[in-house]
Amino acid sequence: MVDRPKKPSALPTSAGSSMPPAPQVDISPSSDRVTATLPTGESCEVLLYGATLVSWKSEGGQRENLWMSDAAKVDGSKAVRGGIPLVFPVFGPPPSSSHLPQHGFARISRWEFLGKSTSESDSSVQLDFGLMSSNLSPEMRAAWPCEFGVIYSVTLGRRSLETRVVVRNEGAAAWEFMWLWHTYLRVEDIHQTHLTGLSSTPYHDRVASAHLTSEPSPTPLTITSETDRVYHPPDPQSTITVHTPAPRYEITRENLPDVVVWNPWEEKAKGMSDFEPKDGWENMLCVEEGSVREGVRLEGGEAWEGGVTVRLVEEG
């Protein structure tokens, strides 16, 4: 877990001159997480377990933008409840013939920290993480015997968080996969939150019926009960905006055709042992970007890339 090799040496400075402050990247003493902090105080924190983003702070480090359950397990005993877990290579329950866990193994595997890079032009820092088939446990290798490599990048900016992934087939045989960012956004009040950018989009309502295709709604989406919908925006470049009593979230996607909107609401939250506080559903909304309606097929040697950028924009 070191920086990239062949990193250029620091430039010498002359007397009376100084270099501008640079982003700081730290690895925890237990080597279980990586934290990046900008000179202005913004930060993000990534567990190596699952490469799960568990914190993204803006406004000089004063505002937390991700919701985390107080009962989330961050010791590797189960998937993290909150933050941004990674869903790969299946979404939801696996096929009956498979022994894969729900939502796959990416979120419950230990990733490798590959290094960092910084940009002086926009005061950003990028963290890179990797997962290969050789990193998997024998049980997961048996459940999904495909040769693969995944590079996951997290870029922290002053008022933005960009996440990108490259999935590569490292073998000769073709295989299919699904990918999803299971993003838990923190909102001030779910009752005063609505989404725009999905109003003309058909969706599958997984609460009413996993097979029901609903007609597009002409109004902004408000959350008034348990919600679990898979939207299929006709324009993959469209912006989805989460309006909440704070800076709004503007979400753009690249090569990701599907968007999941999820909130467990009161009754379901009560039945989830790792969901705390039980009224936490009032302060979170999952807006999840990925490719989950059908699998992405990769032939031997092929690669697939996707990305999400979340920007904070003042209302008004």
Active site residues: 182, 288
Q: What H or E segment, with its residue span, contains residue 266?
A: helix 265-270
Instruction: Pick the closest to residue 51 from 154, 137, 138, 124 (CA basis).
Output: 154
The annotation status of 229 as a binding-site residue, yes or no, is no
The span from the CA of 206 to the CA of 303, in Å, is 30
In residues, how long is the chain? Answer: 316
The annotation status of 253 as a binding-site residue, yes or no, is no
- Token pair of 178, please? 């699904």
Q: What does the H/E/C string look like for 123-192?
A: CEEEEEEEEEHHHCCHHHHHHCCCCEEEEEEEEECCCEEEEEEEEEECCCCCEEEEEEECCEEECCCHHH
**Integer angstrom CA distances of residue 62 from 39, 59, 225:** 14, 5, 30
Residue 55 · residue 44 · CB < 8 Å: yes
Q: Is 103 left (phi over 0), alpha (psi -120 to 50) or beta?
A: left
The span from the CA of 191 to the CA of 266, in Å, is 13
Annotated binding-site ranges: 81, 102, 107
Annotated binding-site ranges for substrate: 81, 102, 107
